[in-house]
Structure 1
């Protein structure tokens, strides 16, 4: 049986943003968002963990750019952004993604409070 959803009855699509140093927290956010009935788009590669696909530094640099661009396209698809920011941490890449989401007027949620307006990136 094939399910064909229209945009009117499709669940909310949320894209997770945050440093892959918080890989376990990203996985936990995926779990909770999915259990809440949302479609989750998240980082698919953790370049901080060794893997043959990015073992070569030149290849890793190239892949990082591809992944950064791909994540912006995920933001395009999503209805909202969830920033996974344990301890309030938001790095440069995540700031760029927040700014991009804001430019598209996407709602933004955070897993943890952000001190001093750091989320304005």
Structure 2
């Protein structure tokens, strides 16, 4: 038995940055340690463009965050799940991590 807080990894499309930040706040206030994407801005919002190498490295880093987590929460308003998030869900499930969705529909 451990007294360490639950670790939750947030996954989802960066188009839902506000929703991911809200989920992060809710989970944190509930006492969880939250790991989430490290970058919430998108080039179409005027943010710096990432190189393909940087995108690949960030994707691999996010999988390591899933490795650290006790469970995964997918932020998917309207039921939307993109290609990258689908891969992360498959990775989490293959690792035996419970996966839940903010919009189970």
Q: Normalising by the residue count of structure 1, what TM-score does the alignment of the two structures yield?
A: 0.80
Aligned with residue 21 of structure 1, among 15, 21, 34: 15
1:71 counterpart = 2:67: no
Instruction: Specify the alignment match of 1:41 in structure 2.
Output: 35
Aligned with residue 47 of structure 2, among 26, 29, 51: 51
Please give the per-residue CA displacement for 1:2-37, whole angstroms capped at 9, x wherever unaligned.
xxxxx8111000000000000000000000000110
C-alpha distance in 2, partners of 1:28/1:60? 28
C-alpha distance in 2, partners of 1:34/1:8? 18
RMSD: 1.4
Instruction: For CA contacts below 8 A with separation 6 or more, give which structure has more relative contact order.
Output: 2
Instruction: Specify the alignment match of 1:98 in structure 2.
Output: 89
Q: Which runs of 5+ in 2 are unaligned?
A: none
Q: Normalising by the residue count of structure 2, what TM-score does the alignment of the two structures yield?
A: 0.91
Instruction: Specify the alignment match of 2:101 in structure 1.
Output: 110
Report the number of matched residues.
103
| Counterpart secondary structure, 1:15 | strand
Cα distance, 1:46 vs structure 2: 2.9
Runs of 4+ in 1 over 2 A off after TM superposition: 49-52
